[in-house]
A = this chain, B = another copy of it.
Amino acid sequence: MTIEVQLDLKSGVPFYRQIIDRVKSSIATGELGPGDRLPTVRQLAVDLKINPNTVSRAYTELELTGLVETQMGSGTYVGQVEVEQDDMERRRILDQICQEFLSRASSHGFTLDDILDNLQQRKSR
């Protein structure tokens, strides 16, 4: 299983950032799990029609944050997710980022239902 990445050329979001976001959200949805291999740097560069360095930069940042692991000469793989912290703290953080997210979405005129629809679709992929 691997992922398909699509760049939004009009969004103004840096390509490498879009790749990072795509990988991270794939991990969140379970689309990618520990041990899964990411597309090779060169292959993804070809697919997206961008420079390999840009893909490499995205992968490097993902590795620095511990989400993926790189094996030289072999490829890049999703790392073991280590989740810790006490439950209360986790709930608080989740509440906070959800709140900020809703705030941002509503400033664009989206409702909670719009959001739930969008997220649900990602689940069934």
Contact = CB atoms under 8 A, between A and B. Distances in A.
B108 A94 contact: yes
A60 B75 CA distance: 23
A98 to B, nearest CB: 5
- Classify chain A's interface size: 35 or more
- What is the predominant secondary structure among interface residues of chain A facing chain B? helix
Given A21-B103, A24-B107, 8 more contacts: A8-B100, A11-B13, A11-B17, A20-B103, A25-B103, A81-B109, A97-B104, A101-B101
| A-B CB proximity, top 9 nearest | A25-B102, A29-B109, A28-B106, A24-B103, A21-B103, A83-B109, A12-B17, A24-B106, A25-B108
Interface of A: 4-6, 8, 10-14, 17, 20-22, 24-31, 51, 61, 64-65, 67, 73, 81-83, 90, 92-116, 118-120, 122-123
